[in-house]
Every structure is written in structure tokens, then in C-alpha cells.
Structure 1
């Protein structure tokens, strides 16, 4: 039996996207003497995912099989493990069924397993690049493709007289200015992450589920060492990161490919983005703080430093806003041109990131240089960071998958408008109080009391800002390299 790559594609109600995903596999040029088998796991589907997958398999001449799950309560993890058990057997089977001789031969012929999301699409030749990277050394357990968010087409290009107008809008293929802006911010964020990993040697702390090629022996090693019935666990909202850490703990390398690219869908609105990032960040914090799992990797320190960096970003902005507000209210505000230094450095950094982001638009570079887009995007992430840690410290747990699914299905609504209105209301009250009590606030007695605290605050802010400037200068230095996102 010829050696082969098998593909696992968990698909929950993905009738609109599964064809495009399979079309990308049909475009691939396979390595010499390698065959490709595709397994689509129609997971608790209530739409025509199975039918559409079979049609696409015939259209693109794929050796495709659909596995159907019912009452799977473990979502993506359960779907992936269903495919694993189908090929490698179920250790929890009460009857201890043995694989047939053909199944044993087939299992031995599997040299790599590609895990993909149903809304992802591999770029041409990506599978060959992933294969070459995986086979370049015996101790490589998994290789992840570079991810690039797909920009939705302009909604204005659609004619409202088009009889398929509503259907095309619902497909997510088109979007307005806001959804296109959100997509680019996520794409630039991903580009920054990929560039940082490549600068540090290409080792990654998470093999993303959108498109990662695994060595079967590595996955089997995780199963045996942790006494699991499948490589993927439901112990975390970030099952792909947990699996990556388990691979590294077992001595396997986890890398990103320098050349393979995969196009993935982005979150198109503030609400869906927040719920997705909430799940990701909450899962990461759980892995970092969960002593029961007893998993540490060489990237643990980096992740903690990232958490500290985000906390400093939040503190710097809160201190700056507080100091400026108090200084203006007490008539002790003095402008200094040196304040422009961190702004200029941040502008240069974000301009470089925007330019290095694949398929960027001129407007994206302009908004990044003016710091409009990066600052808005950062504040959204700071809100998410605060929410995650407040929930962690209060011991309130929530199911990230349920919230993300509900947001994507339109079952929940964002509270962004209420939040903005509340902030405006607070600002108006503060401005009114400052105006009404101006004589008291600007009196010498109040200035004398406030001045030492203001001075201490400005000194603290200066130290934190200098630290952040050094971090930005280091990032600018790394971006000059030859690496591409």
C-alpha cells in the first residue's frame, strides 16, 4: 500500500464553506508517490454538510469519506477523535475489536495527518511545503501553515437587484467597511505573531487547528503517555495549544512552515471577535495556571511575558488618562514635545507591520501609521484581557465554545453601543463637575495636596513608557529581517 497523507476536517453545519475547503485540497500537488485521503467529520449537522462534501469530493476527484457523528458533546475535539478512532481503533471499545489486516496495512501507510478547519483553504503547493518541513527531521511532531485572513469582497460591488443578494451577504463572502477593517486588524495581528515566531527560530507554542500537518507517531505518543482515547483533549478551550504542549513535553518539535500558507476566515464583527478572543485568551490563562495538567514548555515564560506586556499596556493608558484628567482639572497640565517620542516610534512600528502584512491596502498602512487602527484594536484586546483575568480571579468559569458559537449564529448581541454611551455619560458628568467646582479645584491648597501625587504618577508613567519604547525598538529591529508573514 502506497504511503499517504490523511486529512481530518471537522465540520459542524459548514455547507456554505466545505466546498471551498475541499477545492483547496483538490488544487494541491502531492509529493512524489504520496496519496491523499480526506475524512470530513459531519459533526451533529442539521444542514447539508454531508451532501455538499460528497459532491465536492466527486467534483475535485478526491478520495473522500464522510464520517457522521450524533450527540457528540465534545464538539471539535470529539469530531477529531472520531476520525482518529476510525483509523486507529477505539481503546474504550467494550468488545476490544481488533483492526482487520487491511486496516493494519492502511494504518501503517499513513505517514502524516493534516488537521484542517472546514472554513480554511490551503494555498497551492502548501501541502508539499508542509510535507517537506515535517520530513526534514525525525523529531518534528507537527508543522503549521502560515495563516492569512481572507478579506471579504466589497459589499458595494453587489447589486441590490441581484436575486441572490441576501444569499451572498449571508455567505460571508462580502462585507462592509467595518467588517473589512476588522479583518485587516486580525490579519496584521496574525502577521506580527508569525514574524515574531520566525525571528525566534520558527518554534511555536500552538499548532493551530486551521491547517497543521502532524506525524502520526507523535500523536500516538501523546495518546499513550497521557492514557487518552484520542490525541485531542477537552480539558481546555484551546485544544490545539494543549496538544502542542503535550507534544513538546514528549520531546517533539512543533514548527511553523516558512512557505506553506493557509487562508482562513476572520471574525467580521466586534461581538464575534470578542467572543473568539475571550475563548482563546481564557484558554491560554487556564493552561498557564492549571497545576493539575502539569504541562510546561519552553514557551511558558514567553506567554507570561506577553501577559505582563498586555497588563503594562493597560496600566500605562489608565495612568495617562488619570494624570491628564487630574492635571487639567487642577490647572497643572504642561505640554512637553518629548511626549511625541513614543508616538513616533509606535507609528513607525505599526507602519512596518502593516506593510509586512500580506495583501495589505493603502488605507490600512495610512490608518496604522496614524495609530488610529492599532489603538482601537488594542483597546478591544485590553477589555478582553481584563475580562478574562477578572473571571479567573473571581473563579467564574464559562464555556468559551458555547459563547463563540452563539455569537456566530447571531443568538447573542454585543453591548458595545451601551458601553460607549456609558463612557460618554461618565465623561460628561466628569466635565460638568470640573467646570462647576473649577474655583475649588484650581485653588492653591488643592494644588499643593495633589502636586506630589501627580509628580509620582508622571515618574511612574515615564518609566513604564521608556520600557515600552525599548520593546518597540526591539520589535522594529526584528522586522528588518528577511522573514515574511
Structure 2
């Protein structure tokens, strides 16, 4: 048999996206003498995913088969492991079935396994580029594509009289200004992360599930070392990061400098929050739960990212509290030097916006004005705070279920209530400060408050200096001509 790549595509009710995913595989130029097989796992589906996948396989001339799962409790992890067991066998099989000669030849012909999400699409030649990276060295266990969020088309392009208006909106191909704004922010965030990985030599601490090419021997090592029935585990909300850390014990995990994969973004505040909450809580669990029994060589970098978020949150909360206290007691003094970190942040975000693939002019302007980056950062900081507070809670939430429910509209956002609560707090606080101004600005209160203000401003100054130096270092690294 010729050497081959086998694609595993778990698909839970993905009738709207699976055809596009398979069309991307049909566009690929395969490496010389290498064949491609595709396994779509229709996981607990109640729609036409299986039917559409089979039709697309014929349409795009793919060697495709569909596996169906029923009552799979492990969701994506269970679907991926089903695809693995269909080739390599099930260690939990009581009858210990042996592969026949044909199956053994087929198994040994597989030189790479492509893990893909059903709502992702590889750019043309991406598979060859991933293959080139994986085969460049014997010790490489996995190579990840560079991800770019797909920008939805303007909703205004569809006529309201179009009989398929609601159906077209439901596909996610069209969106309003807010969904397009959210998409770009995630795209810029991803671009910043990818650039950081490339500046560090291309080694990654997570081989994303959207599109990664694995070496089968590396996945088998994970199974053997951890006594598993399949490479993927559901012990973490970030199963791809857990798998990557396990692979890194013996193998390198890299990002491809050229292969690109287009993925769907979360297009609302609510779905974005639920996704990031799952990612953040899963990351924190891997960092702090010793029972999982795996550590990454990138552990310091990941902790550094957590500390950076903590400092960003502390700076903003402390600044707000100090300004309120200083203004209320008539002890606030403006200094133009405060604009220094603001200007540097503006330069940094402008460069990142420009380096983001397929950026829009409005996105660069909003980045330069720090409007978009600051809003987006606050949302992430709220998630960061919630996750770490939840770490001390006795109740563990199911991140996968929460995200699924949010994406399907089964839960709703509390953003409106939060904004109203903040406005009411500001209004009440302003009224109380004005009503009690004589007392708050009295010499007795000013003297009592002054030591706290001085200490707070000193702490804020040191934190801001550290944050500013970190931004300058990031700007200096961005001079290298890497592409996100």
C-alpha cells in the first residue's frame, strides 16, 4: 500500500458546515505518492450530517467513510477515539480481536493522522505543508496549522425579502457589525498568539484540534504510557492541550510557518465568554491539578500568561479605585506621563492589527484608539477572574456542555443586566460623593486617606512600568518578519 494520511473529523450535528470542511480536503494537493483517507464520525447526530458527508465525499472524489456513534458520553474525545479504534483496534475488546493481513498492511501504511474540526477548512496546499513539517525530522510528534477566523459577510448584503434570509443567517456566513467585530478581535488575538509562538522557535504547548497533523507513533506512545484505550482523554476541558503535553514527553510539537486553516469564531459576547471560560478553566486545571500527572515544558510560559492577566486586571481595578477615591476626596492630580503606557499600547495594538491576516481599515483605527483592544481585554479579564474564583468552588462545571448550550441558544447572556448594574452603581456613587462632598473633602478625611492613596499610586506605578516594559519588548520582537 502507498503511504497515506487519514483525517479524523468528529461531527456532532454539523450538517451546515461538514460539506465546506470536506471541500477544503478535496482542494488539497497531496504530497507525492501519498494518499488521503477521510473518516467522518457522525457523533450522536440528530440531523443530516452523515448523509451530507457521504454526498460530499462523492462530490469531491474523497476516499471517505462515516462512523456513527450512539450514546457517546465523551463527546469529541469519544468520537476521535472511535475513529482511532476503527483502525488500530480497541484494547478494551474482551474478545481481543486481531487485525487481518489487509488491516495490518493498512495500519502500517498510515504515516500521519489529521485531526480536524467539522467547521474548519484547510487552505489549499495546507496539508502538504503540514506533511513537510511533520516529515522534516523523526522526533516531531505533531504539527499544527495557523488558524485564522473566518469573517462573516455583511448581513446587509442579504435582502430582507429573500425567502432564504433566516436560513442564510443561521449558517453563520453572514453577520452584523457586532459579530464581525467579535470575529476580528478573536482573529487579532489568535494572530498575536501565533506570532509569539513563531518568535519562540515555533514550539507550541497546544496542538489545536481544528487542524493538526500527528505522527501515529506519538499517539500510540501516549496510549501505552498512560494505559489508555485511545489517545484523547476527557479529563480536561482542553483535551488538545492535555494530549500535547503528553506527546511532549518524547516528541516535539510545532506550529507550521505556512499551513493555514480557516475556523469559525464565536460571534456573540455570550458564546465567546463560554468558550473562553472552558479554555481558561481547562488551562488552570492542567496547571494546578497534580492528579492529572502531566506537565509541559512550556509551563513557565503559560504561568507567565496567567500572571500577565492578573497584572492587567490589578492595574485597571486599582486605577479605577484610586481615581474614585482621589477625586472624591479632592486629591486627584493629573500627570502627562500617564499617557506613556497608553501611547505604547496604541502602537503595539496597531502593529498587531496590521499583522492580522485580512484585516480591515476600521479594525486598525479602532486598535490605534485602543477602543477594541480594551473592550476585548476586559471581557477576557472578567473570564480570568471568574475562573480563578471558581477554582475555589466545590462545584465543577461541565465546560463542554456549557459551550454547546450557548452556541445552540439554550442559555442567554447576562450582559444587559451587568451593564445596567454598573450604570446604577456609578449613578449612586456619584450622587453620594456630591451629597457628602463637604465631609469627603474635609482635612480629617484627606489626612486619613492620604497614606492609602500614596501606597496605591506607588504600587500602580511599579505595575505600570513592568507592563510598559513588557509591551516594549513585544514591539521589539514584532520587528521580525513573521506572518500570523
Same fold (TM over 0.5): yes
Partner of 2:472: 473
The root-mean-square deviation of aligned C-alpha atoms, in Å, is 0.5
Q: Distance in 2 between matches of 1:334 and 1:454?
A: 12
Partner of 2:191: 191
Tell me the CA shift for residue 453 of structure 1. 1.1
**Cα deviation digits, residues 258-304 of structure 1 (max 9, x gap):** 00000000000000000000000000000001101221121001111
Partner of 2:299: 300
Provide the secondary structure at the position in 2 that maps to 1:277.
helix
Q: Distance in 2 between matches of 1:71 and 1:292?
A: 28
User: Could you tell me the TM-score, scaled by structure 2's length?
Assistant: 1.00
Partner of 1:288: 287
Q: Distance in 1 between matches of 2:422 and 2:394?
A: 27
Tell me the CA shift for residue 395 of structure 1. 3.1
Partner of 1:75: 75
Say yes or no: does 1:412 pair with 2:411: yes
Q: Distance in 1 between matches of 2:192 and 2:431?
A: 42
Count of residues in Structure 1 that have an aligned counterpart in Structure 2: 484
Within 5 Å, which residues of 2 pair with 1:230-249? 230-249=230-249
Provide the secondary structure at the position in 2 that maps to 1:42.
strand
Tell me the CA shift for residue 445 of structure 1. 1.1
Partner of 1:455: 454
Q: Distance in 2 between matches of 1:396 and 1:465?
A: 36
Tell me the CA shift for residue 438 of structure 1. 0.3
Partner of 1:260: 259
Partner of 1:100: 100
Partner of 2:422: 423
Partner of 1:59: 59
The structure 1 segments of at least 4 consecutive aligned residues displaced by more than 3 Å after TM superposition are none
Q: Distance in 2 between matches of 1:222 and 1:136?
A: 22
Tell me the CA shift for residue 394 of structure 1. 2.2
Partner of 1:349: 348
Provide the secondary structure at the position in 2 that maps to 1:348.
helix
Provide the secondary structure at the position in 1 that maps to 2:159.
coil
Q: Distance in 1 between matches of 2:19 and 2:81?
A: 23
User: Could you tell me the TM-score, scaled by structure 1's length?
Assistant: 0.99
Partner of 1:370: 369
Say yes or no: does 1:173 pair with 2:173: yes
Q: Distance in 2 between matches of 1:289 and 1:402?
A: 22
Tell me the CA shift for residue 356 of structure 1. 0.3
Q: Distance in 1 between matches of 2:408 and 2:49?
A: 16
Q: Distance in 2 between matches of 1:170 and 1:322?
A: 43
Q: Distance in 2 between matches of 1:395 and 1:166?
A: 42
Provide the secondary structure at the position in 1 that maps to 2:204.
coil
Provide the secondary structure at the position in 1 that maps to 2:364.
helix
Tell me the CA shift for residue 458 of structure 1. 0.5
Partner of 2:337: 338
Partner of 1:25: 25
Provide the secondary structure at the position in 2 that maps to 1:411.
coil
Provide the secondary structure at the position in 1 that maps to 2:292.
coil
Q: Distance in 2 between matches of 1:34 and 1:350?
A: 42
Partner of 2:268: 269
Q: Distance in 1 between matches of 2:295 and 2:41?
A: 31
Q: Distance in 1 between matches of 2:221 and 2:431?
A: 65
Q: Distance in 2 between matches of 1:134 and 1:208?
A: 15
Q: Distance in 1 between matches of 2:394 and 2:133?
A: 42
Q: Which runs of 5+ in 2 are unaligned?
A: none
Partner of 1:397: 396
**Cα deviation digits, residues 224-246 of structure 1 (max 9, x gap):** 01110000001100000000000
Tell me the CA shift for residue 396 of structure 1. 2.6
Provide the secondary structure at the position in 2 that maps to 1:393.
coil
Provide the secondary structure at the position in 2 that maps to 1:37.
strand
Provide the secondary structure at the position in 1 that maps to 2:411.
coil
Provide the secondary structure at the position in 2 that maps to 1:204.
coil
